[in-house]
C-alpha cells in the first residue's frame, strides 16, 4: 500500500467523513488538540528551561523531569487522540501540504529524542559534566517542538 | 460614534487592510501568538498544578511561582501585543464575534482570580509554602485559574468560526443582541 493510498483510505473512513460532515466536530476536536498542546509544551518547557538554567533552576534536573513526566505523557496522549481524527478528516489536504510534512518530520525527530536520549540527559549528571551539551540538546529539543507547533498552525493556512 | 462604527472605520484604514491582505504577516503573527501560548499557558499551568498539589510537591510554592512568573509575564506581554495586532487586522468582525467577547470576559475573570489569590491566601504563603498539598483556598484559586485559561484558549480558537457572525443572517435575536449586530444593516458576505 502506497502512502497516498493510505491517506486516501484515512480520508474515506467513517471517522473522517463524520468529522467533515459536522459543523462542530472539527472545531471542538481542534480546541482539545490546542489544550493538549499547552499541556505538552508546559511540561517540556519546564525541563528544557531547567537544562538552560532558567525557571525552576534550583531543583535537581532528574526530580523536575520526574515531576513533569506524567503531564508530558498525558499531553502527548491528548495530542494523538485528537490529532489522528483531525488528520483523518483532512488527510488529502495534509498529503499535499508542505507544513504537514514539516510537522511530521519535526514530530518524529522530537518523539525519538524525547523517548531515548532525553531520558539520559534528564536522569544523568550531564548538566554538571557537560553543561554545554545539555544546553545544546535543550535548544535542539525546543526547536523541534517549535517546528511541530509551526507546522501544525500552518496546515490551517494552506 | 459607537464602537461598531469606530471599528468599521478602523477596518478601512491602510494599516488594517494591509495586515489583513498581507501574504505572510498575518500568518506569522498568528503563529507567534500560538507559540507564545506555550510559554504563557505552560508556565501558568505548572503553577496551577503546584497549587493543586499535583506536581513538584517538594518544591516550595513560592519558588515555583516566583521562578516561573517572569516567563508568565513575558509571555503575556507578547500575547497581548500579537493579539492586538490580530485584532487590528480584522477589527469589526472580531469585535462583534461572540467567542471573542466571551474570551475578553473570561480574561477579566482570570485577572480577578489572580488579584484575589495574591491579595488573599498567597499573602500568608510562608505558612504553607512547603505543604505538598496547599490549603483549600489556594487549591480553589489554582483550579479556577486552570479552568478559566482552558476556556480562554477554546474560545480564542473558536473566533475563527463564523457561525454567529453578523453578516450571516438570520440569527436568533439573542445572538444579534450579544454581538451588537443590527441585522437590517448587515451586508451578506
Residue in chain B nearest A46 by alpha carbon: B43
Mean pLDDT of A3-23: 94
CA distance A93 to A80: 19
pLDDT tens sequence across B135-156: 999 999 999 999 999 999 999 9
So what's the pLDDT on residue A9? 93
For helices A61-89 and A3-12, give the axis angle rounded to 10 degrees.
Answer: 80
Q: Does B30 touch chain A (CB under 8 A)?
A: yes
Mean pLDDT of A32-46: 94
Percentage of chain A beyond pLDDT 70 is 98
Supply B49's cell numbers. 498544578
Q: Does A57 touch chain B (CB under 8 A)?
A: yes
Task: Give the three-class secondary structure for B57.
Answer: coil
| 131-150 of A, contacting B, C-beta below 8 A | 146, 149-150
CB atoms within 10 A of CB B108: 11
**Statement: residue A125 has pLDDT above 80:** no
Q: Are the beta carbons of A42 and B158 separated by less than 8 Å?
A: no
Residue in chain A nearest B61 by alpha carbon: A56
Q: Are the beta carbons of A31 and B58 separated by less than 8 Å?
A: no
Lowest mean pLDDT, pick from A83-92, A122-131, B92-101, B151-160: A122-131
| 5-44 of A, contacting B, C-beta below 8 A | 23, 27, 30-31, 34-35, 37-39, 41-43
Q: Which residues of A touch B163 (CB under 8 A)?
A: 23
**Statement: residue B127 has pLDDT above 80:** yes
Supply A111's cell numbers. 518523539
- A70 pLDDT band, cuts 50/70/90, is very high
Q: Are the beta carbons of A38 and B163 separated by less than 8 Å?
A: no
Mean pLDDT of A151-156: 90
B120 and B136 Cβ atoms separated by less than 8 Å:
no
Residue in A27, A49, A64 closest to B158 by CB: A27
A127 and A61 Cβ atoms separated by less than 8 Å:
yes
So what's the pLDDT on residue B188? 64
Residue, of A11 and A57, whose pLDDT is higher: A11
Q: Does B67 touch chain A (CB under 8 A)?
A: yes
Supply B66's cell numbers. 516566583
CA distance B53 to B58: 10
So what's the pLDDT on residue B67? 94
> Domain coordinates of chain B in residue numbers?
3-161
Q: Which residues of A touch B58 (CB under 8 A)?
A: 59, 63
So what's the pLDDT on residue A126? 76
CA distance B116 to B96: 30
Residue in A30, A31, A42 closest to B46 by CB: A42
Percentage of chain B beyond pLDDT 70 is 98
pLDDT tens sequence across B108-125: 999 999 999 999 999 999
B145 and B44 Cβ atoms separated by less than 8 Å:
yes
Q: Which residues of B touch A31 (CB under 8 A)?
A: 153-154, 157-158
pLDDT tens sequence across B68-122: 999 999 999 999 999 999 999 999 999 999 999 999 999 999 999 999 999 999 9
Averaged confidence pLDDT in chain B: 92
So what's the pLDDT on residue A8? 94
Residues B55, B156, A151, A65, Cα dihedral to 10°:
-10
Give A66's contacts (C-beta < 8 A, 6+ positions apart): none
The C-alpha angle A129, A131, A137, rounded to 5 degrees, equals: 120
Q: Does B38 touch chain A (CB under 8 A)?
A: yes
CB atoms within 10 A of CB A14: 8
Q: Are the beta carbons of A31 and B31 separated by less than 8 Å?
A: no
CA distance A19 to A51: 41
Residue in chain A nearest B53 by alpha carbon: A67
Mean pLDDT of B27-31: 93
Amino acid at each position: 500500500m502506497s502512502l497516498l493510498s493510505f491517506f486516501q483510505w484515512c480520508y474515506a473512513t467513517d471517522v473522517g467523513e463524520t468529522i467533515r460532515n459536522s459543523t462542530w466536530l472539527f472545531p471542538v476536536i481542534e480546541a482539545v488538540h490546542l489544550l493538549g498542546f499547552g499541556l505538552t509544551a508546559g511540561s517540556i518547557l519546564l525541563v528544557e528551561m531547567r537544562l538552560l538554567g532558567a525557571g525552576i533552576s534550583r531543583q535537581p534536573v532528574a526530580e523536575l523531569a520526574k515531576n513533569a513526566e506524567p503531564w508530558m505523557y498525558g499531553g502527548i496522549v491528548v495530542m494523538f487522540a485528537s490529532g489522528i481524527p483531525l488528520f483523518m478528516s483532512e488527510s488529502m489536504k495534509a498529503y499535499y501540504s508542505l507544513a504537514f510534512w514539516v510537522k511530521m518530520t519535526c514530530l518524529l525527530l522530537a518523539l525519538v529524542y524525547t523517548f531515548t536520549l532525553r531520558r539520559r540527559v534528564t536522569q544523568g549528571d550531564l548538566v554538571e559534566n557537560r553543561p554545554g551539551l545539555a544546553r545544546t540538546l535543550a535548544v535542539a529539543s525546543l526547536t523541534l517542538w517549535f517546528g511541530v507547533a509551526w507546522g501544525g498552525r500552518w496546515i490551517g493556512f494552506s | 460614534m459607537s464602537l461598531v462604527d469606530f471599528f468599521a472605520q478602523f477596518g478601512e484604514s491602510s494599516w488594517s487592510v494591509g495586515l489583513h491582505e498581507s501574504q505572510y504577516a498575518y500568518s506569522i503573527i498568528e503563529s507567534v501568538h500560538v507559540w507564545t501560548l506555550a510559554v504563557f499557558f505552560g508556565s501558568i499551568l505548572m503553577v496551577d498544578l503546584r497549587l493543586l498539589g499535583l506536581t513538584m510537591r517538594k518544591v516550595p510554592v513560592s519558588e515555583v511561582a516566583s521562578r516561573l512568573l517572569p516567563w508568565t509575564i513575558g509571555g503575556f506581554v507578547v500575547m497581548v501585543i500579537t493579539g492586538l495586532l490580530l485584532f487590528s487586522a480584522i477589527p469589526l468582525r472580531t469585535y462583534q464575534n461572540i467567542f471573542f467577547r466571551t474570551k475578553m470576559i473570561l480574561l477579566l475573570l482570570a485577572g480577578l482570580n489572580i488579584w484575589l489569590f495574591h491579595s488573599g491566601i498567597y499573602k500568608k504563603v510562608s505558612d504553607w509554602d512547603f505543604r505538598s498539598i496547599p490549603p483549600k483556598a489556594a487549591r480553589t484559586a489554582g483550579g479556577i485559574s486552570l479552568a478559566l485559561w482552558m476556556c480562554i484558549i477554546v474560545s480564542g480558537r473558536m473566533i475563527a468560526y463564523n457561525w454567529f457572525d453578523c453578516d450571516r443572517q438570520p440569527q436568533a435575536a439573542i445572538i444579534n443582541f450579544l454581538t451588537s449586530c443590527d441585522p437590517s444593516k448587515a451586508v451578506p458576505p
